[in-house]
Chain A
Amino acid sequence: MTALKLENVNKSFGSVHVLKDINLTVEDGEFVVFVGPSGCGKSTLLRVIAGLEDATSGTVAIGGDVVNAVPPAKRGIAMVFQSYALYPHLSVKDNMGLGLKQEGKSNAVVDERVSKASAMLDLDNYLTRRPAELSGGQRQRVAIGRAIVRDPKLFLFDEPLSNLDAALRMNTRVEIAALHRTLSASMIYVTHDQIEAMTLADKIVVLRDGRVEQVGSPMELYNNPANQFVAGFLGSPSMNFLSQSVTGLENGTTLGIRPEHLRFDANGQISGQVTHVERLGGDTNLLVKTDADEVLTVRLFGQDPTEVGDDVRLSYENANAFFFDQNGQRALPRAA
């Protein structure tokens, strides 16, 4: 069964066309991540799925039923917001239980589900507190708990980790992955952090300007991006794009090469000068200005003695090179 099916979904705010012909399927139990630059319509798409905005045209089906005219509370979804959005005047327990109470569930059922969720999220000691008395990480767990308690067909997360610090973000990311395994529920997760996207997703949906650019598993997108945008968006540091520094490129064609696929080679195709060095301990990132005045990033594993100002020659293997035409679409490599 499919958890979610979107067909030709469009959304306009007045004259602003935000979502353009979105078609998408989420299978049962799948973890789908929406990524894309700021303002590309990720949150809007999520809100259309949740029913907080009406689609201008197209159909939204959740669990096989078309829900275009169904209010959010009856769609069988639960949503976790970036700003937590906990009810400030209710205790943690009431925050988690409110949705069930509104559905008319008995107190016994509410209590049982809340205590199950709070045990899962380590919130047992905080049930009587108000949200303002919790740390950011705890608030986020309450928000997740509020979603779990409703036992939804589909979880929606809108950048749930972006207000947390790096360490906590990592922990919560692992927790969410574990949660997905335990509940085996379908989840849609919005982020613009590509590490979250790569680590959590079964399927990534890359959006740009309200259009789906590419859909696929993280490694599919990484190894086989459909266009220059997707290639540049996934991977950190991001892919280098060269149009002048290598010989033999057709006019207008761009060569893409990931930073980790470049290495020092006295007979390399590219020559240039190091302009900046970042030493991360495990990795070393070099910024190199090529003779044709293009800047590229080189990622070396381990520590490296190269200094700013050194002249270097770099090479790559043709198997690792991507080619893009004038419109940024993938082009076949020219037989060299």
Chain B
Amino acid sequence: MSSTRRTSGTTIAAHAILITYTLIALFPVFVILINSFKSRKAIFREPLALPNAETFSMIGYETVFNQGDFFQYFQNSMIVTVVSLTLILLFGAMAAFALAEYRFKGNTLMGLYLALGIMIPIRIGTVAILEMMVSTGLVNTLTALILVYTAQGLPLAVFILSEFMKGVSDDLKNAGRIDGLSEYKIFFRLVLPLVRPAMATVAVFNMIPIWNDLWFPLILAPAEEVKTLTLGSQVFIGQFVTDWNAVLSALSMAILPVMILYVIFSRQLIRGITSGAVK
């Protein structure tokens, strides 16, 4: 009896801490959301107040939709993020499988070489990358961004996934070989499902920086038709005046797709963790 009461005590404490943390973490998002629906004056007068009949205004959203091709930006960001993530996961997992599974000369060296990328920021190479993109004619294309983001994400992906793949039982892979599965089938059908939580982790880690990046879109793809959302929103931030309504509205809308992607991955993550234990 006393032990159950004590556990419920710790449960309450744990929940209290988690709820407090959630509130703190969500507060800025909340402020952005409510202010995006207020008139400019109201934003500055009472930043924390909820929009009411008097202060409610859609002016920010109107500006966003009228100025620039917001949907185009949106689509560009989506394409870049989704394609980059797909490539990172596919190639990262394949390289990780090779490193974890096959004994060949220079295996360790190759692993170290690939992991080196984690420690060296890719932005150091910006000038060289730009020169390369210019000479291959990829400037102002989404392909340029996708290539750069894939390169940027691969080292960590290979590192994390190969550690996880080393943990997949050898017996299972060997059973597959004896049953006549090809190496590809072993990779896709046996190993990938078992490292799904790690894949979701890699996806989440890579998704946010790609979606939010301003640096490479500004340098490699500043043209109107390939602008990403983050770059597109910059038009509202001026040197002298900033259109806060528009900035807040654009930000509010930019949250949505990342959230949807996150929900997809995190569900995979949870399913991955429980599929071994429960089902």
Contact = CB atoms under 8 A, between A and B. Distances in A.
Interface in B164-202: 169, 171-172, 174-181, 190, 193-194
Contacts of A87: 172, 175-176, 190
A88 B180 contact: no
A89 B180 contact: no
Given A52-B174, A85-B172, A99 B179 contact: yes
Interface string A119-159: 00000000000101100000000000010001000000000
A55 to B, nearest CB: 15
A72 B279 CA distance: 30
Interface in A94-128: 98-99, 102-103
A130 B174 contact: no
A98 B172 CA distance: 13
Contact of B193 (A47, A73, A89, A103): A89
Contacts of A98: 179, 181
Contacts of A132: 276-279
A82 interface: yes
A229 interface: no
A268 interface: no
B2 interface: no
Contacts of A50: 174, 178
A94 B223 CA distance: 54
Interface residues of A, number: 28
Nearest to B178: A72
Interface of B is mostly: helix
Contacts of A82: 171
B188 to A, nearest CB: 12
Contacts of B3: none
A99 B178 contact: yes
Interface centre among B169, B177, B180 (most CB of A within 10 A): B180
Contacts of A47: 174
B275 interface: yes
A81 B174 contact: yes
Contact of A102 (B181, B275, B276, B279): B181
A39 interface: no
A44 interface: no
A296 interface: no
Nearest to A129: B279
B276 A88 contact: yes
Interface string A69-91: 00111100111011111111100
Interface string A42-54: 0000010010100
A35 B221 CA distance: 67
B178 A77 contact: yes
A88 B275 contact: yes
A76 to B, nearest CB: 11
Nearest to B175: A85
Given A85-B169, A102-B180, A103-B180, A133 B175 contact: no
A81 B179 CA distance: 13
B276 A52 contact: no
Interface in B138-182: 169, 171-172, 174-181
Nearest to A50: B178
Given A77-B178, A133-B279, 5 more contacts: A50-B178, A89-B275, A103-B180, A132-B279, A150-B179
A-B pairs with lowest CB-CB distance, top 10: A73-B180, A102-B180, A85-B171, A99-B179, A81-B171, A85-B175, A85-B172, A72-B178, A83-B171, A72-B177
7 contacts: A47-B174, A85-B175, A87-B172, A87-B175, A98-B181, A99-B179, A99-B180
